[in-house]
A and B are shown apart, each in its own frame.
Chain A
């Protein structure tokens, strides 16, 4: 059992036993290789189901929306990015701060099943060797791979390993790497427009419009999503390439200044679409134009919710 698992259980047990909260939302062991399950614990005797996972890319803040109109007080295990999502939701008045108890975790980064698939093929079994390596049995044979090679691009790029908002923090502080983490996107920007178009066309062709990305995203929380509106119909429902592209592009635009780069969308996608290309490019634009990063400063208003005279607007004229 990892130290983080132990620390999380200890904190969760304390607040549940003290009746500070009604339930704790956290991670549990998965029953498939490289998967993580979630638990909603309301009894102290179930606390030992909580774990600190290796593959916990699902964003737990997503679940707070369920309790928007309930009286529950909620304990939540929050990685750096989850805590940023909580900030984003607080700013949008989706949840009450005083009903939350945030067990923040200094997150060393998660591993991704999608990346593993990309690198070694369909995973049949996965075993943590304990020395930083994973032994993966795939349809193409057995391979050992370092955990650093299993990190998704958003964890590699993460500069907010520490929770930005919390009631208690567990785990050792993580040294934030140099740079802003967007080198991969800048590299992508260097491609010619035709090449970029081709790359994205390829990705969109894989999308099956199941909306797992939307459902996994805490800030994709409209009461009614534009793709589900039928009067008027904004976009056709099928998998025509234009319709798929419109869906994905509008979803991305709606996340401008709200996406915290947690990678839950890409990890949830059954078709392996590289959704982070779109959202991270968007984040880079917001950062460069407005100097804003979602969910980092609890006081700052998101660019879409405010106007400054000095906002760049050369694209209008």
Chain B
């Protein structure tokens, strides 16, 4: 671990090589955008209204152009990015996208669009000293002090900042920075416990044995009819979620060329599973909610051994009718 007194020095050091993307205020909302000046960074905001997934997986992305018999790939315009001040839940979200879009093994799906962005991004994480009432990361294997997945991780302390470099990429990035080494970091454990104690805890049980097992037995349960009533199927939760990664593919014309692009989609949309024939295998809100909860707490666990919900609480904050996925998951656990 190393110590620095002012984050500005780290910011300026990283900015020499690439552009920095971090939380910036825009109107009344906070988004991840390119930050030119350190002072433009909203350091006091825990979470942006939208997650940083856009950096790797934009909402509206051209896959290729086509003209008669020819396919033209979009010109590579991806610049090296430093993703600055990302919280542990969002870092975990990026990890989930990576599992999905850059799958292991010969047979695994590799998404070139995601991968080229991911490879050019340095992730600078930031511990949460003051979690929000809507946070529940500790219920889904997270922690406000979890540095896993970051290249560089910042721990705010009473008299400055401790910096950890969990990856080689991060280590290389801070070379040449004027720092002092710190041996004793036992205070971090105390800080971590303090921060964790402020977070609402749900009992979902262990990842593979708890709620996932329970949900496997609930496919035909009347539970699903009891929880979705208020949902208007607006998909806002999926759009603000750091790990939702479903997309829809569409074609459009641009002058003499056509283009194929993909846009974010949501399992709560009625048209999500609509087939060409007009048949819809998930015609009702209850089935769509069953899918959402199962994907987050069961299917993803089955395939990747981890929750697909990171406990950032954005969905409950953004939902027009204030549906809280953690409350619903907790209800599922205790459903008779």
Residue ranges of A at the interface with B (Cβ–Cβ < 8 Å)? 30-33, 35-40, 58, 62-63, 114, 117-118, 121-122, 124-125, 139-140, 202, 206, 208-212, 214-216, 228, 230, 233, 236-240, 264, 267-268, 270-272
Contact = CB atoms under 8 A, between A and B. Distances in A.
B263 A212 contact: no
B42 interface: yes
B60 A238 contact: yes
A32 B42 CA distance: 22
B173 interface: no
B234 A35 contact: no
A206 B322 contact: no
Contacts of A40: 229-230
Contact of B321 (A37, A121, A272): A37
B29 A35 contact: no
Interface in B19-46: 26-30, 42, 44-46
Contact of B236 (A118, A206, A239, A268): A268
Contacts of A125: 133
A270 B28 contact: no
B232 A215 contact: yes
A212 B235 contact: yes
Given A31-B327, A210-B234, A210-B236, A37 B322 contact: yes
A62 B232 contact: yes
B134 interface: yes
Contact of B133 (A124, A236, A238): A124
Interface of B: 26-30, 42, 44-46, 49-50, 59-60, 132-134, 229-230, 232-236, 239-240, 248, 250, 252, 261, 263, 266, 269, 271, 316-324, 327
Nearest to B44: A139
Contact of B60 (A37, A121, A240): A240
B232 A32 contact: no
A68 to B, nearest CB: 14
A40 to B, nearest CB: 4
Nearest to A271: B29
A43 to B, nearest CB: 12
Contacts of A118: 27-28
